[in-house]
Amino acid sequence: MNTNLVSSNKMNWETPQWLYNKLDYEFGFTLDPCSDKNNHKCDKYFTEEDNGLNQDWNGDIVFVNPPYGRELKKWVKKASETNSVVVMLIPARTDTTYWHDYIFNKATEIRFMRGRIKFIDPITNKEGDSALFPSAIIIFGCNWEISEPYICAVDYRKGGGE
């Protein structure tokens, strides 16, 4: 079992390229604010030194796979307050305050993912073990006329249907 996915020891686990490609095809991302020079997914990106939380995301189409530690709620809050389309890949921890404060009442769409993601280990650059938590794709800022978020289950697994 990969205990690093449970703890906060490593904050730079990379999104699998196949999953990013599926989302990028749909949204056309222009900014990755939570990355480093080795794992960024967009030409425009912010590193830990740039501190993406303090940067302007407005006008971009933003892909966010934030650090899953104690700072996660700050990334969700920023995404919910940004005047851009923001797509987040986060743990589906629906009991947390940030889900209730920033997702349930502000997201355009919530996609609960089937199966567990195998993130890319930043040291080996290979898939690690399956995450010990379910994941969700949270979408903010789409100009859809809704009174509450659209919630669905998706199968983004490699070769899986949607």
Do the domain assignments include residue 160?
Answer: no
Residue 105 belongs to domain spanning: 3-154
Do the domain assignments include residue 147?
Answer: yes
CB 108 within 8 A of CB 139: yes
Do the domain assignments include residue 162?
Answer: no
Under the banding of pLDDT at 50, 70 and 90, the label for residue 4 is very low
- Considering only residues 84 and 152, tell me which one the structure prediction assigns the higher pLDDT: 84
Domain CATH for 100: 3.40.50
- Counted domains in the chain: 1
53-103, pLDDT tens digit by residue?
Answer: 999 999 999 999 998 888 999 999 999 999 899 999 999 999 999 999 999
Select from 33, 52, 30, 51 the least CA-distant residue to 42: 30
Do the domain assignments include residue 46?
Answer: yes
120-137, pLDDT tens digit by residue?
Answer: 776 777 777 777 788 999
Do the domain assignments include residue 66?
Answer: yes
Secondary structure element (H or E) that encloses residue 74, with its range: helix 72-81
Do the domain assignments include residue 159?
Answer: no
